[in-house]
């Protein structure tokens, strides 16, 4: 999974929504309308469509897209209002102040059951709101405290079970032959200096090894695993660090020895300092 920041999907970099210091927790939502599965490259356009429809809603008088995060079926979390911003999605002013809101791109018809990647993405969004937005530990559905069918039966069943990360069914076995080796110092240098440069030579081949591992973990979209340690890879590695238990500044997307060793152990590569 990657966190797609507002400026990356086509919104102003900062939401104009009111500041909020902390919340009780996070409410999970779904679209509540028909929604069809689509290729990942179309998800950002759909998020832009949601924002445009919210801004055009004169009855609700939204100042921005209503949700703090939106998560697609491929597991990427699109930053909506983001952290420390009051949501507009929970039903009324009191409920909007009480909890953040994370919306799954999931419908009442069409695509109605969350994918494992989506569930992991929702968890990553929740953890980002906790780590950086002072969200409390409570997790519920939109229907908790407000009369609605949202977030739908399948997603709400998962919420009621505590919103657990999906278990990995089978650990993939490394390919036969020598394992690839990733040089940590070169990887860190690439992470700190390598912007996205599609179609140009990569600065360090080991970036692609790490990106492939992040794709296998469901943290990075395959179409942005191009060998350059750009913003999507930084966000994906930060999600891996959070999965390893790191928080705050320790989950900044810049690889460290221990988190990289864990990723290598799971995905078949070794590291050197």
Instruction: Specify the 3-state DSSP secondary structure of 193.
Output: helix
* pLDDT at residue 257 is higher than 60: yes
Q: What is the pLDDT of residue 96?
A: 97
For 189-199, the pLDDT digits (tens) are: 988 887 655 55
* pLDDT at residue 1 is higher than 60: no
Q: What is the pLDDT of residue 226?
A: 81
Pick from 255, 234, 233: nearest CA to 244 = 255
Split at pLDDT 50, 70, 90, the class of 200 is low
Q: What is the pLDDT of residue 168?
A: 56
d(CA 100, CA 82): 9
Split at pLDDT 50, 70, 90, the class of 116 is very high
Q: What is the pLDDT of residue 30?
A: 97
Q: pTM for the complete prediction?
A: 0.64
d(CA 237, CA 182): 15
For 85-99, the pLDDT digits (tens) are: 999 999 999 999 999
State the CB neighbour count (10 A cutoff) for residue 235: 25
Q: What is the pLDDT of residue 173?
A: 45
d(CA 219, CA 189): 21
Domain boundaries, the chain: 3-160, 181-272
Split at pLDDT 50, 70, 90, the class of 175 is very low
- CB burial class (10 A; 0-12, 13-18, 19+) of residue 64? buried
* pLDDT at residue 115 is higher than 80: yes
* pLDDT at residue 215 is higher than 50: yes
Q: What is the pLDDT of residue 195?
A: 66
Mode of pairing for the β-strands spanning 99-104 and 23-30? parallel
Is domain 3-160 classified as CATH 3.40.80.10?
yes
The per-residue pLDDT of the chain, averaged, comes to 90
Task: Provide the Cα torsion 202, 206, 207, 213; round to 10°.
Answer: 140
For 52-90, the pLDDT digits (tens) are: 999 999 999 999 999 999 999 999 999 999 999 999 999
Q: Of 38 and 175, which is predicted with more confidence?
A: 38
* pLDDT at residue 133 is higher than 50: yes
């Amino acid at each position: 999974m990657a966190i797609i920041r507002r400026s990356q999907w086509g919104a102003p970099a900062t939401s104009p929504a009111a500041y909020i210091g902390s919340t009780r927790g996070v409410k999970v939502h779904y679209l509540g309308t028909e929604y069809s599965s689509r290729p990942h490259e179309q998800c950002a356009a759909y998020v832009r469509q949601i924002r445009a429809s919210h801004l055009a809603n004169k009855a609700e008088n939204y100042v921005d897209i209503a949700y703090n995060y939106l998560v697609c079926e491929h597991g990427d979390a699109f930053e909506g209002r983001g952290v420390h911003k009051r949501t507009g999605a929970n039903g009324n002013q009191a409920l909007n102040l009480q909890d953040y809101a994370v919306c799954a791109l999931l419908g009442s018809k069409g695509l109605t059951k969350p994918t494992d990647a989506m569930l992991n993405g929702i968890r990553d969004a929740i953890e980002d709101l906790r780590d950086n937005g002072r969200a409390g530990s409570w997790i519920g559905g939109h229907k908790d405290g407000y009369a609605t069918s949202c977030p739908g039966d399948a997603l709400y069943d998962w919420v009621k079970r505590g919103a657990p990360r999906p278990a990995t069914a089978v650990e993939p076995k490394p390919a036969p032959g020598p394992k690839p080796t990733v040089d940590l110092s070169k990887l860190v240098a690439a992470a700190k200096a390598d912007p996205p440069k599609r179609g140009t030579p990569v600065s360090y081949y080991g970036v692609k090894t790490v990106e492939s591992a992040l794709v296998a973990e469901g943290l990075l979209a395959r179409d942005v695993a191009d060998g350059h340690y750009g913003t999507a890879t930084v966000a994906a590695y930060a999600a891996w660090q959070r999965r390893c238990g790191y928080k705050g500044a320790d989950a900044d997307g810049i690889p460290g020895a221990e988190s990289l060793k864990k990723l290598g152990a799971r995905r078949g590569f070794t590291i050197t300092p």
